[in-house]
Amino acid sequence: MSHHKWAAALLILHGASSLAASPPSAADFAGAWNVTAHFAEGSTSAVLTLTSVDGKIKGSSAGLDTRSGFALAYDGTLEHGRLHLTVAIAPSSVNTVGELTLEIKGGSLQGTGTLYRVPVTLTGEKPDDKPHTPKTYDYVPTHYYTNLSGANPPALRIAPGDTVRTSTIDANGIDEHGQWAGMPGNTQTGPFYVEGAMPGDTLVVHLNRVRVNQTRAMMVCWGLSPNALPAGTPPEAPGQCGFGWTLDSTAGIARLAEPSARLKNFTVPLKPMLGTIGVAPPASQSISASDLGNYGGNLDYNRIVEGTTLYLPVYRAGALLTMGDAHALQGDGEITGQGLETSMAVEFTVGLTKGTTLGQPWAEDDEYVMVSGIGNSLGEALQSATGGMVRWLRDRYKLDMTDVAKVLGSSIQYDVAEIVDPRPHVVARLRKDLLAKIQPP
């Protein structure tokens, strides 16, 4: 090759190299980023939206402190491909709380700085808007958790539209073979990280299949919870305490393994359900799987069965869905403290509703829309359930409060789902055939 050709080739290579090495522009930083702030004591997630106008970069996000408190505003400048941001409490840009320096590496947002004078590392990804072909995963659990927490590493990463076939062990940590598989305490399968799920979204979980996968169940028999009885009811020691049940999936019934003489013919129909299903709670909280709240958890609602779709607020990146504490059957309120505790084969499909949430769990099946209310008393739980149903109706049908009162006053139903766990759970229900008579907005 001639000297001139070598020179031309080198010039082309140099130009290509310079082009490849060109620093990110303001346009590259602009848009929505799903970010997580990592502190020594935990992490929290939010959507960070950046805009570029007349050479100035501004942004906003929900709170990035470990309690997800104050919404934040950002002002920044771009220097040599690095974005320097001053962070303040929104809506004002006066109350400065920190500074961040961010870069784009491999399409990801990365950086460090301080928030509230606490060192922080920030990572982020732009939402993936590419078409996704749904996949089906067979997940065999090898590790279980007895808490719901954003610190628990994902067992499997899935995307909206994907289906998972898996299993749960019972609340005591025993698997379908009668062997210990995990610690007792409403032992959870998961967590499942749902790509693109961020705080402010709603995770959709459709339960395709919930079936008992063994022939035994256990239920404590030390008596009824005082919460279900009048104050001052004297305790009575249980008699024969045969707390095992035999499950007959073919006949669809359960019978006592060691019945008393009067209950030797007592059988009950199976209605398999998931007692615990939920997402990671807000900020850096770690909450026992025996507890419940607006993140779900130990709901113990006996209509969370095969065919039900559950809607859960998202509080952490990926949602981190877990499930367990399966019951072959449970009466309303779980008034003995347990249902027929057993293991379960489960298949579910996930979806995601972006940018909107009811702020509490709700569900639907072929017949009903159901809104969960959780409080420190049955009264508070009922008020929460009613308030959630009011918001659900107003959001979807744009009804005024007069029309809402007519619908609920004539047709609302309540279930006492749970009274023995840390907080009572009441569910407000409306029939879908009645909802179909409301004119759409």
pLDDT in tens, 190-200: 999 999 999 99
Give pLDDT, residue 20: 52
Say if CB 167 and CB 344 are below 8 A apart.
yes
Per-residue pLDDT tens for 95-121?
899 999 999 999 999 999 999 999 999
Give pLDDT, residue 239: 63
Give pLDDT, residue 10: 44
Please tell me the distance from the alpha carbon of residue 237 to that of residue 219, in angstroms, as a whole number: 16
Mean local confidence (pLDDT), 202-208? 98
Please tell me the distance from the alpha carbon of residue 8 to that of residue 19, in angstroms, as a whole number: 16
Q: Structural domains in the chain?
A: 26-125 (2.40.128.120), 136-226+240-434 (2.60.120.580)
The residue count for the chain? 441
**Is pLDDT of 15 > 60?**
no
Per-residue pLDDT tens for 286-309?
999 999 999 999 999 999 999 999
Say if CB 294 and CB 310 are below 8 A apart.
no
Give pLDDT, residue 41: 86
Answering whether pTM is above 0.75, one says yes
Please tell me the distance from the alpha carbon of residue 145 to that of residue 119, in angstroms, as a whole number: 29
Q: Give residue for tokens 């007349």.
A: 54
Cis peptide before 91 (omega within 30 of 0): yes
Please tell me the distance from the alpha carbon of residue 384 to that of residue 386, in angstroms, as a whole number: 5
**Is pLDDT of 8 > 60?**
no
**What's the mean per-residue pLDDT of the chain?**
92
Report the b/e string of 91-100 with b at 16+ CB within 10 A.
Answer: eeeeeebbeb
Contacts of 180 (CB under 8 A, 6+ apart): 173, 174
- Lowest mean pLDDT: which of 6-10, 170-174, 187-191, 211-215? 6-10
**Is pLDDT of 68 > 70?**
no
Say if CB 371 and CB 393 are below 8 A apart.
no
Report the b/e string of 194-220 with b at 16+ CB within 10 A.
Answer: bbbbbbbbbbbbebeebebbbebbbbe
Sign of torsion over alpha carbons 196, 197, 198, 204: positive
Q: HEC string of 29-56?
A: HCEEEEEEEEECCEEEEEEEEEEEECCE
pLDDT band at 17 (very low <50, low <70, confident <90, very high): very low
pLDDT band at 243 (very low <50, low <70, confident <90, very high): confident
Contacts of 216 (CB under 8 A, 6+ apart): 178, 244, 245, 246, 247, 257, 342
Cis peptide before 131 (omega within 30 of 0): no
Give pLDDT, residue 181: 95
Contacts of 185 (CB under 8 A, 6+ apart): 146, 171, 173, 288, 289, 290
Please tell me the distance from the alpha carbon of residue 304 to that of residue 205, in angstroms, as a whole number: 11
Per-residue pLDDT tens for 357-394?
999 999 999 999 999 999 999 999 999 999 999 999 99
